[in-house]
Amino acid sequence: MAAKRRATELPTGAPELDTSNHAHIIPLGAGSEVGRSCIIFKYQDKTVMFDCGIHPAFKGMDSLPLLDEIDIDTVDVALITHFHLDHCAAVPYLLRKTRFKGRIFMTHPTKAIYYSLLRDLAKGARHSSEEALFNEEDLDASMERIEVVDFYQTIEVAGMQITPYRAGHVIGAAMFLVEVAGLRCLYTGDYSRLPDRHLPAADIPPVTPHIVIVESTYGTSRHLPTQQREQLLLDTIRTALHRGGRVLMPVVALGRAQELLLLLDEHWEAHKSELGGIPIYQASSMMSKALTVYQTYVESLNDDIKRVFHDRNPFKFRHVQTLKNPAHFIQDYSGPCVIMATPSGLQSGASRDFFEAWCEDARNACIICDFAVQGTLAKEILGGPRDITTRQGRRVPLRIAVHNISFSAHADFDQTSGFLDAVRPPHVVLVHGEYGEMRKLAKALKDGAKAIGCAREVYTPVLQQTVAIAHTPDRTVRLQGRLGEKPPREGGAVRGVLVKQGGGFTQQLLHADDLPRFTKLLRGAVTQRQAVAVSGPFSRIRLALEVMFEGVDGEALLPVTAAPGAEATKGGEVHSLLVGDTVRLSYVPGDDGGGVEAHVVLEWEGGRQGDMVADAVVAVVLQTVGEPPAAASAESAMLRARAEGDEAAAAAAELHLIAALLRSQFGPATVDEAEGVVRLTVDGVGATVDHRAGKVACGEAGLRGRIEKSLDRLAAAIRPVPVSRRQE
């Protein structure tokens, strides 16, 4: 079912729309910014959190997503796309220091690297004066709660179906497709549609999402073709080395670092005579630890790297060394070299140390290979300043050559537009991009969709701004067992027991007898019983029931057989009726000697229909017990005359009984014994009833029909009651 073409962007603080008719997307982070990705998706009272990271340009609590802006305990599940800090580093805080009660999922590689990365972060926080978001105990506790999921494995959580697909970007990175009541929402996280040396490209999901929440990091920019940018990088490095300079490449420890190390190691091996004496260093212990993860999860890599693994481990580099003491190296080494260090934004750590030590030497080069986030030193130096401020507050001249050669595994404009043209969602929500670039991208995507005749709405929310998208829920029911053996007629009704197992929206409709076969349910029945004290003969109760209900069957049982739940009487007679094939009514006459009052016992199978009929029977019995004496007297006279064989007297009594019963239903009624009829007046309209002939004379057709219906029931009810005898 397609999503309806109506949506709005609600400003912060606006009243929410009904979530039964609208999906809500709310950025708690990455709304018109790059960093602290955390996107809330709500639909049909289900809530998903996509990612929970920190902002690289902020510190402490300021780096967190705006988690206080929602009821965090209503989030059913958190889905973490990959291990980069801006997507996962707030997870320990979420799990240990908020009211989050839901489940949380990552892929296997993501969980493995998440722990290593965040353990280093927690250790560093112990020796820092900055406010720590979590400690090692919090991290260990988070590992207990994190569940893993494989690519293409569909899981059901809180009534939602969730399937991860490959996202490229880094090892283990996933896009998540979430389906709720027929609405499909795809969150890409960071993704890349270009395969590289070690990773496959992001998948195209096999179904069409109604909503795609997609990163917009590079906006309308385009990456250089792979071969061209690789050659530009190698030429830039060689130029700096030939002039005796040192090359700093600030990178994220996992992902682009391994891609660039593969490239450099391959190039050095091919040019050993020229470059063999110039060292390549990785100044991050995390880069070394990551290599074991790549070896463990080799199946997550692309086919090219898998083939290389047959001959050798490509991550055991031939020309790359691990630099264990950057401080000593900075002080003691002065020759040309290439160093990869973290973090990529030059905010702190080894990359900042190297940059401040080398930035005044014009022979050196700094190559920004990843996306430079607003507010970081990496972004600042790309603007071409003449000097910078060190962490000690000194202003120093900036003479180092600064280059921006993007090897970022984020989708550029061509990849994003091509991806959306392939999956064709009617609604696109842009996140993880800077304000201006997001809006330029939104316009370009709308224009592109119009050019190919594709209906597409594009939204660019800021932090806390709700995007509300209308959609009609769609649920499917699977016919199982005997109900599934014969396909239902188009537009027909199917009756059965609706079973929903595992909290999902996938439901089965089963015949009650099939419950043990397809479920763990057993069919049972609850028998209800109720006793009502009565006075007068049972024939009056039967007559009243036959007037009210069609399908009253019964017998008088001799000798005494006590009704279920009723005590046996001495010398009495137990009468039994079945009303509407639903309620069994048993009458037990009173026994003055034994102190037992006359009563009826109702017995029925509990349920909507049985309870309704039982309530009606009780009402009739209670009304009959208090019936006017005229009807009781006429009934007794009729039965006595029949017993004596006086047909004339019985006919006269019967006429008076008919009049009494019609009077109780329609109002004033008189007996005309000479004509053998009953005359009625209802709301000023007269009617003459000849019950023997079964005729009603009345000028008002509606009233005539009502009287005729009642007359038919009365005529049947006052016939002699059949009595069957059953031997003991």
Known catalytic residues are: 410
Q: How far apart are CA 708 and CA 691, in angstroms?
A: 9
Q: Residue 604's closest CA among 660, 526, 664, 667? A: 526
Is residue 181 within 8 Å of 21, Cβ to Cβ? no
Is residue 402 within 8 Å of 184, Cβ to Cβ? no
Q: How far apart are CA 337 and CA 339, in angstroms?
A: 7
Contacts of 31 by beta carbon, 8 Å cutoff, 6+ apart:
431, 461, 462, 463, 464, 465
Q: How far apart are CA 44 and CA 315, in angstroms?
A: 47
Please spell the DSSP secondary structure of 639-669, one letter per residue.
HHHHHHT-HHHHHHHHHHHHHHHHHHHHS-E
Count CB-CB contacts under 10 A for residue 637. 17
Beta-bridge partner residues of 633: none
Q: Packing angle between helix 226-242 and helix 256-270, nearest 10 degrees?
A: 70
Peptide bond into 559 cis (omega under 30): yes
Q: Residue 297's closest CA among 141, 106, 447? A: 106
Please spell the DSSP secondary structure of 92-107, one letter per residue.
HHHHHHS---SEEEE-
Q: Residue 548's closest CA among 714, 388, 411, 378? A: 714
Tokens (6 digits) for 566? 């009723």
Tokens (6 digits) for 403? 């280059």
Is residue 499 within 8 Å of 511, Cβ to Cβ? no
DSSP assignment letter at 630: H
Is residue 680 within 8 Å of 686, Cβ to Cβ? yes
Identify the sign of the CA torsion 195, 199, 204, 209: negative
3-state secondary structure of 111: helix
Contacts of 700 by beta carbon, 8 Å cutoff, 6+ apart:
685
The CA–CA distances, whole Å, from 144 to 95, 98, 103, 148, 340 equal: 10, 16, 11, 11, 33
Q: How far apart are CA 641 and CA 649, in angstroms?
A: 6
Count CB-CB contacts under 10 A for residue 151. 17
Please spell the DSSP secondary structure of 222-280, one letter per residue.
-PPPHHHHHHHHHHHHHHHHHTT-EEEEE--TTTHHHHHHHHHHHHHHHTHHHHTTS-E
Is residue 34 within 8 Å of 373, Cβ to Cβ? yes
Q: Residue 354's closest CA among 369, 368, 340? A: 340
3-state secondary structure of 79: strand
Is residue 473 classed exposed, middle or buried when 0-12, 13-18 and 19+ CB atoms within 10 A define those classes?
middle
Residue 696 backbone dihedrals phi, psi, to 5 degrees: -130, 125
Tokens (6 digits) for 49? 């959190």
